[in-house]
């Protein structure tokens, strides 16, 4: 099998198409702007009647511009080579600036295959390999024959010393998935999505595009908004109609997002790895060895808790906290299934060990009110007073909400530490659970402010690869003890290994 | 010669801890009593070179000089020379800021310190907002010695310590003598694995 990979190989010729599609996707905004500014604007001024001819020239020009500007991406086939050496995988790419990426086997964290619609039509996929070194995947081949990609994935995994035997990672593709989503699950996911977030996304998109194109279209969007907001009569009926319509749009939008994200979601399990595949247009397939999972979290909003629905994340060394596409996130549709999956990382949950949880100190609640809520309320109410007089008191509603939510945060914050693991439960309305196997922690930090030192409190920071978990306002002795104990556990584990 | 302070009490407790058998077959994991765990509070931290205090003072003074210059240029550029109260007030404010920065530099320096233990590095910094960082040596990925112009003129260096998955350095140990920084770098990256003694006797010998 080594013979197959030790000679430099080129990607699939489909890379021409994927490169062009990607280049076109990147350029579509600019092309649209060019079309709007040169075609519609002049037409509205009545200076140009030969519309069809102009449009076709514009399209040809845009096409040529995309090819010239994105030459390297489209013709990547000529400049990309990859091969496997005895201890590393090598990728060479670039036209003007040559770049050679060498990933030693032991540094590779995840190997992923992604399939867009184009890939699926051509039986190819994009292959990415991540290390812990950077937020982006270092090794990316945009188009590779599907069988070649699978074979390379398994070959590299088999050469990794710290990853157990290849057969333990290979998942039987015809085996019944551990988890898949039915229609009922989709309905639950769609209903319980964060519709306010969807609404905010839609509004931001519409407003930003409207401002961008208002000059080109010769349409005064700002003036239109001002006229609408001042000219129309405001009534409870009109506001509720508007809100209902916005909510309806948001639900539709959320549902589309859920379907795109979790369509045909399948979770399979081998002896030593999870394999997940999902996506409607872009199909993703990830294999995550259990040993690469650094810590796990699961989250459920208030409504999802009622529906017994959780979003579980397996945090690995390779992923970036800010790049959502890299996250290994799975919807879990029952508590029993959640227990089954988390059991692999942590056989006994600290919260179920029978020990009493530790809370954070109430001082955090008062400090937030004094330092954040009161100053903001006073400034906001004072400013509002000049414009709306007594209506400025509405600001107090925010203060009330802030106090309520911060009190809820303080009340809900719970920590369990057992011999080997730590669990944090937190949240205001929903709940997030964090489970960390202590030896996975990289380092610990104790932070104190003058107020905390005076009153005997400290923040304990747990540094994990790519993430810092802060446990705020612990009793100082407690924080000191936990810092020492966690350090001991890390060092003990290293000695043991 | 770089010296490292380790409290006697800590050595005793950690040596007793290493009595556990480190083979998988016989591995046991008994719980420890609170007073058996090595405590970082018992450590005497090693202060960095006093030359670093001078560097801190110079850096803060340079920062304030830039602000002074900026303010003076703004005064003439915006023609506010007719408002003496504003000018005097501005300079007084900057002067007060300089005082605070110099005062806090001294305090921050005296609170800064580190201790190298057999299995980890402890580093404390900050005066108003104090931060105490404990990094197990085995978790260190790589180290980097950095020398700025001011540090070079004082014969000092900073040691940046990186762990897995972090966006930047986890700890920057400033104010080390250059030779100490180089030796510490080599020791942190190369030595930790070799210093682990599998038997309590060897461990006790190594600890002295």
Chain B, 109-128: which have a CB under 8 Å from a chain A CB? 119-120, 128
For residue A157, what are its two tokens? 């995994």
Q: Mind listing the pLDDT tens digit for each residue in A466-480?
A: 788 999 999 999 999
* Residue A492 DSSP SS3: helix
What pLDDT does B3 receive? 35
What pLDDT does A115 receive? 85
* Average confidence (pLDDT) over A196-205: 84
B136: Cβ contacts below 8 Å, ≥ 6 apart: A442, A443, A487, A490, A491, A494, B119, B120
Same domain, B93 and B125: no
| C-alpha to C-alpha distance for A339 and A81, rounded to whole angstroms | 44
B99 reaches A (C-beta below 8 A) = no
Eight-state DSSP code of residue A263: T
Same domain, B189 and B130: yes
Q: Give how far Cα B140 sits from Cα of A21, A439, B111, B122, B174, Å.
A: 43, 14, 24, 13, 17
| C-alpha to C-alpha distance for A151 and B205, rounded to whole angstroms | 52
Q: Which of the two residues, A469 and A29, has the higher pLDDT score?
A: A469
- Residue A161: how many other CB atoms lie within 10 Å: 8
| C-alpha to C-alpha distance for A15 and A144, rounded to whole angstroms | 8
What pLDDT does A294 receive? 87
- Residue A439: how many other CB atoms lie within 10 Å: 18
Same domain, B150 and B175: yes
B37 reaches A (C-beta below 8 A) = yes
φ, ψ for residue A123 (rounded to 5)?
A: 55, 45
Q: Mind listing the pLDDT tens digit for each residue in A68-127?
A: 777 777 777 888 889 888 888 888 887 777 778 888 887 777 788 888 888 888 889 898
What DSSP string runs through A372-433?
IIHHHHHHHHHHHHHHHGGGGGGHHHHHHHHHHHHHHHHHH-EEEE-SSEEEEEE-SSSEEE
Q: N- to C-terminal Cα distance for chain B?
A: 18
A365: Cβ contacts below 8 Å, ≥ 6 apart: A406, A407, A409, A410
* Residue A119 DSSP SS3: helix
Q: Which of B75, B93, B109 is the last residue of a domain?
A: B109
A478: Cβ contacts below 8 Å, ≥ 6 apart: A358
CB A158 within 8 A of CB A166: yes
| C-alpha to C-alpha distance for A11 and A122, rounded to whole angstroms | 13
* Average confidence (pLDDT) over A403-408: 96
| C-alpha to C-alpha distance for B112 and B123, rounded to whole angstroms | 8
Residue B74 lies in a domain: yes
Interface confidence, given as ipTM, is: 0.73
- Residue A59: how many other CB atoms lie within 10 Å: 12
Burial of A1 (0-12, 13-18, 19+ CB in 10 A): exposed
Range of the domain at B102: 52-109
| C-alpha to C-alpha distance for A284 and A353, rounded to whole angstroms | 37
φ, ψ for residue A419 (rounded to 5)?
A: -60, -40
Residue B73 lies in a domain: yes
Q: Give how far Cα A363 sits from Cα of A370, A411, A414, B129, Å.
A: 10, 12, 15, 17
What pLDDT does B15 receive? 32
Residue B47 lies in a domain: no
For residue A340, what are its two tokens? 């089954």
* Weakest-pLDDT range from A213-222, A282-291, B149-158, B175-184: A213-222
CA distance, residue A493 to nearest chain B CA (Å): 10
Which position has the token pair 């005793």? Answer: B12
What pLDDT does A168 receive? 52
- Looking at the predicted structure, is the pLDDT value of residue A269 above 50? yes
Closest CA to A421 of A402, A435, A407, A403: A435
Which residues of chain B carry a pLDDT beneath 70? 1-36, 80-81, 165-169, 190-208
B74: Cβ contacts below 8 Å, ≥ 6 apart: B80
Length of chain B in terms of residues written: 208
Q: Which of B91, B109, B127 is the last residue of a domain?
A: B109
Closest CA to B189 of B154, B142, B151: B142
Q: Mind listing the pLDDT tens digit for each residue in A319-336?
A: 666 666 667 778 888 888
What pLDDT does A444 receive? 94
Residue B187 lies in a domain: yes
Provide, as residue numbers in chain B, all residues whose Cβ is less than 8 Å from the Cβ of A483: 40, 132, 134
Same domain, B138 and B178: yes
B107 reaches A (C-beta below 8 A) = no
What pLDDT does A482 receive? 93
Residue B13 lies in a domain: no
- Residue A127: how many other CB atoms lie within 10 Å: 26
What pLDDT does B27 receive? 44
Provide, as residue numbers in chain B, all residues whose Cβ is less than 8 Å from the Cβ of A481: 34, 37
**Considering only alpha carbons, which residue of chain B is nearest residue A419?**
B31
Across chain A, mean pLDDT equals 82
B45 reaches A (C-beta below 8 A) = no
What pLDDT does B20 receive? 33
Total domains, chain B:
2
**Considering only alpha carbons, which residue of chain B is nearest residue A483?**
B134
**Considering only alpha carbons, which residue of chain A is nearest residue B23?**
A496
What pLDDT does A119 receive? 87
Same domain, B73 and B123: no
Decide if A419 and B31 are in contact by the 8 Å CB cutoff. Answer: yes
Burial of A182 (0-12, 13-18, 19+ CB in 10 A): exposed
* Average confidence (pLDDT) over A175-187: 81
Burial of B208 (0-12, 13-18, 19+ CB in 10 A): exposed
Domains of chain A, by residue range, sit at 2-162, 184-262, 363-410
Taking the domain A2-162, which CATH number applies? 2.30.29
Decide if B132 and A464 are in contact by the 8 Å CB cutoff. Answer: no
Residue B184 lies in a domain: yes
| C-alpha to C-alpha distance for A23 and A421, rounded to whole angstroms | 47
Q: Residue A373's pLDDT band (boundaries 50, 70, 90)?
A: very high
**Considering only alpha carbons, which residue of chain A is nearest residue B33?**
A485
3-state helix, strand, coil in chain A (%, to 5): 55, 25, 25
Residue B178 lies in a domain: yes
- Residue A312: how many other CB atoms lie within 10 Å: 21
What CATH number corresponds to the domain at position B146? 2.30.29
Decide if B138 and A480 are in contact by the 8 Å CB cutoff. Answer: no
- Alpha helix locations (H) across A218-264? 221-231, 236-262
Eight-state DSSP code of residue A147: H
| C-alpha to C-alpha distance for B33 and B146, rounded to whole angstroms | 42
B132 reaches A (C-beta below 8 A) = yes
Length of chain A in terms of residues written: 497
B26 reaches A (C-beta below 8 A) = no
HSE, side-chain direction, 13 A CA sphere, residue A10: 11
φ, ψ for residue A382 (rounded to 5)?
A: -65, -45
For residue B63, what are its two tokens? 């920062």
What pLDDT does A388 receive? 84
CA distance, residue B81 to nearest chain A CA (Å): 32
Beta bridge partners of A457: A475
| C-alpha to C-alpha distance for A91 and A71, rounded to whole angstroms | 19
A445 reaches B (C-beta below 8 A) = yes
Q: Name which of A444, A448, A484 is nearest B130 (Cβ-Cβ).
A: A448
């Amino acid at each position: 099998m080594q013979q197959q990979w030790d000679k430099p190989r080129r990607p699939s010729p489909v890379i021409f198409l994927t490169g062009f599609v990607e280049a076109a996707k990147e350029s579509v905004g600019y092309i649209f702007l060019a079309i709007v500014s040169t075609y519609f604007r002049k037409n509205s001024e009545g200076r140009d009647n030969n519309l069809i001819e102009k449009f076709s020239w514009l399209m040809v020009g845009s096409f040529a511009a995309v090819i010239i500007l994105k030459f390297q991406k489209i013709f990547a086939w000529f400049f990309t080579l990859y091969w496997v050496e005895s201890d590393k995988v090598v990728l060479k790419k670039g036209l003007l600036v040559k770049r050679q990426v060498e990933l030693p086997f032991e540094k590779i964290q995840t190997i992923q295959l992604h399939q867009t619609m184009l890939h699926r039509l051509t039986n190819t996929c994009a292959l990415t390999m991540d290390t812990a070194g950077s937020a982006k995947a270092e090794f990316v081949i945009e188009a590779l024959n599907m069988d070649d990609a699978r074979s390379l994935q398994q070959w590299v995994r088999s050469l990794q010393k710290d990853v157990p035997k290849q057969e333990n990672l290979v998942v039987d593709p015809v085996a019944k998935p551990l988890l898949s989503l039915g229609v009922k699950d989709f309905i639950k996911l769609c209903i319980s999505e964060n519709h306010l977030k969807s609404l905010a996304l839609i509004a931001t998109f519409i407003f930003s595009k409207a401002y961008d194109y208002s000059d080109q279209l010769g349409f005064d969007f700002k003036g239109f908004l001002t006229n609408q907001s001042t000219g129309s009569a405001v009534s409870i009926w009109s506001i509720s109609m508007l809100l209902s319509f916005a909510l309806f749009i948001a639900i539709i939008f959320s549902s589309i997002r859920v379907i795109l994200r979790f369509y045909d979601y399948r979770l399979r399990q081998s002896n030593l790895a999870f394999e997940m595949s999902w996506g409607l247009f872009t199909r993703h397939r990830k294999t995550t060895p259990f040993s690469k999972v650094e810590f796990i979290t699961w989250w459920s909003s208030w409504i999802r808790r009622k529906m017994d629905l959780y979003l579980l994340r397996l945090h690995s060394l390779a992923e970036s906290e800010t790049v959502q596409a890299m996250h290994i996130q799975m919807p879990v549709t029952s508590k029993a299934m959640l227990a089954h999956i988390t059991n692999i990382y942590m056989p006994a949950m600290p919260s179920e060990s029978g020990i009493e949880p530790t809370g954070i100190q109430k001082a955090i609640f008062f400090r937030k009110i004094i330092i954040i809520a009161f100053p903001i309320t006073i400034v906001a109410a004072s400013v509002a007073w000049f414009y709306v007089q007594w209506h400025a008191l509405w600001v107090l509603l925010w203060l009330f909400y802030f106090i309520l939510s911060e009190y809820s945060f303080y009340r809900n914050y719970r920590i369990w530490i057992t011999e080997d693991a730590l669990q944090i439960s937190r949240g205001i309305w929903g709940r997030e659970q964090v489970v960390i196997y202590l030896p996975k922690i990289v380092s610990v930090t104790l932070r104190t402010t003058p107020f905390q030192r005076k009153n005997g409190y400290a923040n304990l920071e747990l540094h994990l690869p790519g993430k810092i978990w802060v446990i705020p306002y612990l009793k100082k002795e407690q924080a000191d003890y936990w810092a020492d104990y966690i350090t001991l556990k890390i060092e003990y584990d290293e000695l043991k290994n | 010669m770089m010296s490292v302070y380790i409290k006697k009490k800590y050595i005793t407790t950690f040596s007793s801890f290493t009595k556990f058998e480190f083979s998988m077959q016989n591995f046991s994991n008994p719980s420890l009593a609170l007073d058996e765990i090595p405590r970082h509070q018992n450590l005497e931290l090693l202060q960095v070179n006093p030359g670093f205090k001078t560097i801190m003072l110079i850096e803060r003074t340079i920062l304030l000089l830039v602000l002074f210059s900026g303010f003076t240029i703004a005064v003439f550029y915006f023609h506010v020379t007719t408002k003496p109260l504003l000018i005097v007030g501005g300079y007084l404010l900057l002067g007060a800021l300089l005082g605070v920065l110099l005062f806090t530099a001294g305090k921050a320096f005296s609170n800064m310190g580190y201790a190298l233990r057999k299995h980890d590095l402890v580093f404390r910094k900050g005066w108003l907002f104090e931060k105490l960082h404990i990094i197990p040596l085995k978790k260190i990925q790589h180290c980097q010695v950095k020398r700025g112009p001011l540090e070079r003129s004082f014969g000092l260096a900073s040691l940046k310590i990186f762990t897995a998955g972090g966006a930047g350095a986890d700890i920057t140990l400033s104010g080390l003598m250059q030779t100490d920084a180089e030796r510490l770098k080599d020791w942190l990256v190369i030595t930790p694995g070799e210093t682990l003694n599998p038997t309590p006797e060897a461990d006790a010998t190594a600890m002295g």
